[in-house]
Structure 1
Amino acid sequence: EGSERGVLGLEQLLLAVDDARAHKEKIVFTNGCFDILHAGHVTYLEQARALGDRLIVAVNDDASVSRLKGPGRPINSVDRRMAVLAGLGAVDWVISFPEGTPENLLSHVKPDVLVKGGDYGVDQVVGADIVQAYGGDVRVLGLVENSSTTAIVEKIRGQG
């Protein structure tokens, strides 16, 4: 085990990725809000990790979650969300990003595989063009039914 696991800044992450590449390891990247971590997320992250040797999870910071999901979100602060993700066996490295999309991170990290969960085409995955341009792979994994964070939040608020 060359590289540390857990929550890293960009500089640390790039060093960890370089080290993994030197050991011929395949780097998988996914991103999201991961506001309330649930079983669907865990299954998804395990499937993503299975596509390579190392999994990076890039997490939207609090301001970008609010912009994407609306007022009252996130429920959990970015530090809490990252700490929970970092505790999962499938996850090697966790980093936050302030933009609405991870394009900037993708162009720095250049993962071998970009993964998103959902029911859309590869061409609709944000950052797919960046990854495909250098020969990387883009994969869409189906979502586990009935397990969206938004649905959980609505249920708790009595709207579900």
Structure 2
Amino acid sequence: MNSKDKIYTLPQLLGQVQNWRSQGQRIVFTNGCFDLLHLGHVDYLEKAKHLGDKLVLGLNTDASISRIKGPSRPLQDEMSRARVMASLLFVDAVVLFGEDTPLELIKAVQPDILVKGDDYAVEQIVGHEVVQAHGGEVKTVPLVKGYSTTNIVKKIENNINP
């Protein structure tokens, strides 16, 4: 399977999720910008995958990231980010979303497990009520300390402009 084959439109994803569910697979969902892939992302996504059978990654569009993080972001365009994320062996599906939060996507996918890093409390995770209302679980996984795209960008900027 090519990485491109793991990038879905929402209708395609919903069909795939239905197929996985018919096979008894548990769907794990997480989301983020994933602007520069780093060890913290890899560790987080690997842990998320181990919580179920199939890992669906909601990826913010370029417009969404610019609204959230400012006009200098994202550093990489959405299709570049989608391909990089889809290339990871523990990511089963990537779907772009243009809203500021993944709430509508979570409502559509209805994951069995919603996961974010442990920098969130369960009550702070967007969509936790939706998932819990249909009997799903909301979990956090420990993050590798010291890794963030923002910190990497600052380090690069400091090396360019000491």
SS of structure 2 residue aligned to 1:24 = coil
Q: What code does the residue aligned with 1:70 have?
A: G
**RMSD of aligned Cα (Å):** 1.7
Q: Which residue is 2:109 aligned to?
A: 109
CA distance in 2 between counterparts of 1:8 and 1:134 reads: 24
Q: Which residue is 1:138 aligned to?
A: 138
Q: Does structure 1 residue 63 correspond to structure 2 residue 44? A: no
**When the two structures are aligned, how many residues end up with a matched partner?**
158
**Conservation of the 8 A alpha-carbon contact between 1:5 and 1:92:** no
Q: What code does the residue aligned with 2:139 have?
A: R
- Structure 1 runs of 4+ aligned residues shifted over 3 Å read none
Q: Which residue is 1:13 aligned to?
A: 13
Unaligned residue ranges in structure 2 (runs of 5+): none
Q: Which residue is 2:91 aligned to?
A: 91
Shift of 1:5: 4.9
Q: Does structure 1 residue 53 correspond to structure 2 residue 81? A: no
Give percent identity, aligned residues only.
50
Shift of 1:145: 0.8
Shift of 1:89: 0.5
CA distance in 1 between counterparts of 2:26 and 2:20 reads: 8
Shift of 1:107: 0.7
Normalised by the length of structure 2, the TM-score is 0.93
Q: What pairs up with 1:117-156 in 2 under 5 angstroms?
A: 117-156=117-156
CA distance in 2 between counterparts of 1:119 and 1:92 reads: 24
